[in-house]
Structure 1
Amino acid sequence: MAEPSNFPPMSNPVSVVGPQFCSPYSEDLTISEKAIFIGDNLVVTDVNGNIVFNVKGALFNIHDRHILLDANGNPVLSIQQKFQIMSGDWQVFSGDSSDSKDLLFSTKKPSIFKTDLDVFLAANTKEEVCDFKIKDIFLDRSCTIYLGESSNVIAKMHKPNIEFLQDSFIVTVYPNIDSAFIVALIVILKEIYLQA
């Protein structure tokens, strides 16, 4: 069981994918890159080494598309690049879908010169104000994820200090925050980082 958090919990859980992915404690998840021939692009584990999620990439697809699977291999999210150009425009759908009715959220880079990424929930069709913001996405492979334009941090990503984990990074998900949502954002950031 996770230790009680040092972070103040959000007053209401932030559930984008589902409440089953919200923990009352902060979680440190390790995201490790795996060889494509194994079948997984990324493996997400908890502090005890238990697999929490796998991320599979679809090869030879028109759109850059990834499927986030839970520990039992069930599809949780489909992550798809909106345009086949270097951009931060991605869409995330429920399950293995790419149907607009299953859209959960999308991302957009406000400017090619900025190190931020705006996240919009599907209901936010005007996209005038973002629902979440990721800052400093290219600075030393670390970033901070905020609730909207506020100073409320919901997750942080950083590189581990251990040499044998050099192809990995750690994301701290704050209490009552949807870990599947945060992992999907990290997958998108990884792809943007590789395209830069």
Structure 2
Amino acid sequence: MDFYVKQRVFSFNDQFTVFDHNQEAVYNVDGKFFSLGNQLAITTTDGQPVLQIKQKLFSFLPRYTISNDEKELCSVAKKMTFFRAKYEIEPLNWSIEGSLFDHHYRVMEGQTEIMAVEKQWLSWGDTYHLTIHDDRHQTIGVALMIVLDMVHHQSKNNGN
């Protein structure tokens, strides 16, 4: 299933709208203003909570947790690499690999691709195209893409 994640331009905190392949909005992503570390909530378009993303503070490399109302689903940790992006997603035993410069990423479980992410270059604001191969991974896939965007902007703002 294909999704398009578009960052809302001219907002003070991180805000995204997630569209399906028919360009119909299916999720909203809103960041908390004045929070310690990044904290975002993914909701349906009618405001029902889906997932929360929280940055773990005091970590040498970026680390985020993704949870629902009941429990933490996974932790996403950036790994030290040069010229490539690499993340580990535990306890799912998934990984994210990609190009820092082209903004192409693949979420893998061993040799199986779970999701592909590609940044759309000629768009107003950051826009990403997600191809999620299994509908069961739809919301976690959207959350992972948001984490990738946050880490990318954090490192760009830090001069890394």
Three-state SS of the structure 2 residue aligned to 1:35 is coil
Corresponding position: 1:64 with 2:38: yes
Partner of 1:33: 7
Three-state SS of the structure 2 residue aligned to 1:136 is strand
Structure 1 length normalisation: TM-score? 0.70
Partner of 1:108: 77
Report the Cα distance in structure 2 between the residues aligned to 1:190 and 1:40, rounded to whole angstroms: 10
% of aligned pairs identical? 21
Three-state SS of the structure 1 residue aligned to 2:152 is helix
RMSD value, Cα:
2.3
Report the Cα distance in structure 2 between the residues aligned to 1:112 and 1:132, rounded to whole angstroms: 17
| Structure with the larger strand share | 2
Partner of 2:97: 135
Report the Cα distance in structure 2 between the residues aligned to 1:176 and 1:29, rounded to whole angstroms: 11
Corresponding position: 1:118 with 2:111: no
Provide Cα deviations, 1:55-112, integer angstroms capped at 9, x if missing partner: 00001101210001112211111100001567321111213xxxxx721110112225
Three-state SS of the structure 1 residue aligned to 2:5 is strand
**Count of residue pairs brought into register by the alignment:** 154
Distance 1:181 1:63, change over 3 A: same
Q: Which amino acid aligns with 1:94?
A: N
Partner of 2:134: 175
Indicate if the aligned counterparts of 2:62 and 2:77 stay in contact, CA closer than 8 A. yes
Report the Cα distance in structure 2 between the residues aligned to 1:71 and 1:143, rounded to whole angstroms: 26
Task: Pick from 148, 151, 157 the counterpart of residue 192 of structure 1.
Answer: 151
Task: Pick from 91, 95, 107 the counterpart of residue 65 of structure 2.
Answer: 91
Three-state SS of the structure 1 residue aligned to 2:120 is coil
Q: Which amino acid aligns with 2:78?
A: K
Structure 2 length normalisation: TM-score? 0.85
Q: Which amino acid aligns with 2:43?
A: L
Partner of 1:5: none
Report the Cα distance in structure 2 between the residues aligned to 1:52 and 1:82, rounded to whole angstroms: 27
Q: Which amino acid aligns with 1:188?
A: V
Indicate if the aligned counterparts of 2:18 and 2:26 stay in contact, CA closer than 8 A. yes
Listed as ranges, the gaps of 5+ residues in structure 1 are 1-26, 96-100, 122-129
Listed as ranges, the gaps of 5+ residues in structure 2 are 156-160
Bigger Cα displacement from structure 2, 186-195 vs 134-143: 134-143
Partner of 2:158: none
Three-state SS of the structure 2 residue aligned to 1:192 is helix
Indicate if the aligned counterparts of 1:34 and 1:41 stay in contact, CA closer than 8 A. yes
